[in-house]
């Protein structure tokens, strides 16, 4: 999808200032150090050929990012190239709280978990909604049990696994049939849901029982449960699937798990102010980034040494966290400052702050 086709965006060709890749005085750099239009470029035929090649290739649009705002009941959408908000989508019905968010592997749908404000009662506000990332319109709605908070969608897009916080269940939804096919008993107040890279295992964290339940996706059964530090929030897997990492908000730690045998290996203590919630692993598997909630920071951990290497100040109460596919940018949804911090992973500095809605909760980067 070109930027010109995105709602609220102008074509890059009409923007003021130099276009992407454009040098001073209108010269456009060519790989190899040649600049079309420079005095050193003498061959008109060569210049014409290179210009044709350059302009015949479409500029790849930077991905959009999506932020769920729990209190505002909205989703903020911004362009990661410009860090400008392009749309704000109001969730329905009124009062629904958007929290968990994920794109499908093919990038054709944005799934958002909605919950009502009631406890142990299921209403139309309890559902998972699918948005079209081109139009930002709702196209489907799925039953995912009562009070779904976080969820995962399988890589083939066939199933949703959701944590039902108020019911102590994990709900499995068949996307094609739009129906619940299993409800599995897990820990008390389940929250985090993570899918292993091979699709075999789903980890569900439970913040009150301090447990992680392991679901076998072939059997649709809980096959193992293990204890972690107090109030586990979020789990994620390493790219190779050999390790999993679980944040513990009250414990102030990150638990390292043998994801082959589902055994706790060790815990990593974070800073004294850390209240860890969201966690992501870099695409190359070398770094682990933890959103420290009320600690107002992000912890950086070396996955080989399992040592804390840096702490980055960000906005107030970073909850959700996401990383670009190239690993160069990190984003945190900050629920008390109602914004998103953009971190350059090379310098470990915040390079931009983007306004979001009240109670910014989760963040997801498009394809």
Is residue 118 over pLDDT 70?
no
Phi, psi at 57, each rounded to 5°: -85, 125
Contact at 8 Å (CB) between 87 and 7? Answer: yes
Residue scoring higher pLDDT (154 or 44) = 154
Angle at 192 between CA 312 and CA 287, to 5 degrees: 35
Strand partners of residue 226: 212
Please tell me the pTM assigned to this model: 0.84
Q: Output the average pLDDT for the chain.
A: 87
pLDDT tens sequence across 240-258: 999 999 999 999 999 999 9
Report how far residue 230's alpha carbon sits from residue 211's, in angstroms, rounded to the nearest whole number: 9
Contact at 8 Å (CB) between 298 and 289? Answer: yes
> What is the mean pLDDT of the segment spanning 137-163?
96
Is residue 230 over pLDDT 70?
yes
pLDDT tens sequence across 157-212: 999 999 999 999 999 999 999 999 999 999 999 999 999 999 999 999 999 999 99
Residue scoring higher pLDDT (14 or 252) = 252
> What is the mean pLDDT of the segment spanning 132-155?
95
Residue 181: count other Cβ atoms within 10 Å of its Cβ.
11
Q: Which of 190, 186, 204, 183 is nearest to 262 (CA)?
A: 204
What is each CA distance from 162 to 148, 190, 191, 272, 367, in whole angstroms? 6, 9, 9, 32, 22
- Rounded to a whole number of angstroms, the CA Rg of the chain reads 22
Domains and CATH numbers, the chain: 3-56 (no CATH), 64-87+159-365 (2.130.10.10)
Is residue 17 over pLDDT 80?
no
Q: Which of 306, 221, 297, 296 is nearest to 265 (CA)?
A: 306
Helix/strand/coil (H, E, C) string of 306-333? CEEEEEEECCCCEEEEEECCCCCEEEEE
pLDDT at 362: 98
């Amino acid at each position: 999808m070109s930027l010109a086709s995105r709602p609220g965006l102008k074509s890059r060709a009409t923007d003021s200032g130099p276009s992407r890749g454009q040098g001073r005085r209108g010269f456009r750099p060519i790989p190899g150090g040649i600049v079309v239009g420079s005095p050193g470029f003498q061959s008109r035929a060569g210049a014409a050929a290179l210009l044709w090649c350059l302009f015949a290739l479409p500029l790849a649009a930077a991905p959009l990012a999506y932020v769920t705002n729990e209190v505002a009941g909205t989703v903020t959408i911004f362009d990661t190239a410009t860090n400008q908000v392009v749309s704000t989508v109001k969730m329905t019905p009124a009062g629904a709280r958007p929290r968990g968010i994920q794109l499908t592997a093919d990038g054709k749908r944005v799934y958002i978990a909605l919950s009502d404000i009631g406890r142990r009662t299921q209403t139309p506000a309890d559902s998972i909604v699918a948005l079209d990332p081109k139009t930002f319109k709702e196209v489907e709605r799925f039953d995912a049990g009562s009070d779904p908070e976080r969820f995962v969608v399988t890589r083939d897009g066939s199933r949703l696994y959701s944590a039902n916080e108020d019911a102590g269940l994990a709900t499995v939804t068949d996307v094609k049939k739009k129906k619940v096919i299993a409800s599995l008993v897990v820990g008390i107040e389940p929250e985090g849901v993570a899918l292993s890279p091979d699709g075999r295992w789903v980890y569900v964290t439970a913040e009150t029982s301090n447990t992680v339940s392991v679901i076998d996706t072939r059997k649709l059964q809980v096959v193992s449960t293990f204890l972690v530090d107090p109030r586990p929030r979020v789990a994620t897997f390493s790219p190779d699937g050999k390790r999993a990492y679980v944040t513990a908000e009250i414990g102030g730690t990150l638990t390292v798990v043998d994801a082959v045998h589902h055994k706790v290996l060790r815990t990593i203590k974070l800073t004294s102010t850390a209240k860890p919630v969201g966690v992501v692993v870099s695409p190359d598997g070398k770094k682990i980034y933890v959103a420290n909630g009320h600690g107002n920071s992000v912890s950086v951990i070396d996955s080989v040494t399992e040592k804390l290497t840096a702490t980055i100040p960000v906005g107030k109460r970073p909850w959700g966290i996401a990383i670009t596919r190239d690993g160069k940018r990190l984003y945190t949804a900050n629920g008390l400052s109602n914004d998103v911090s953009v971190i350059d992973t090379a310098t470990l500095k915040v390079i931009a702050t983007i306004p979001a809605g009240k109670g910014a909760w989760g963040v997801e980067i498009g394809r």
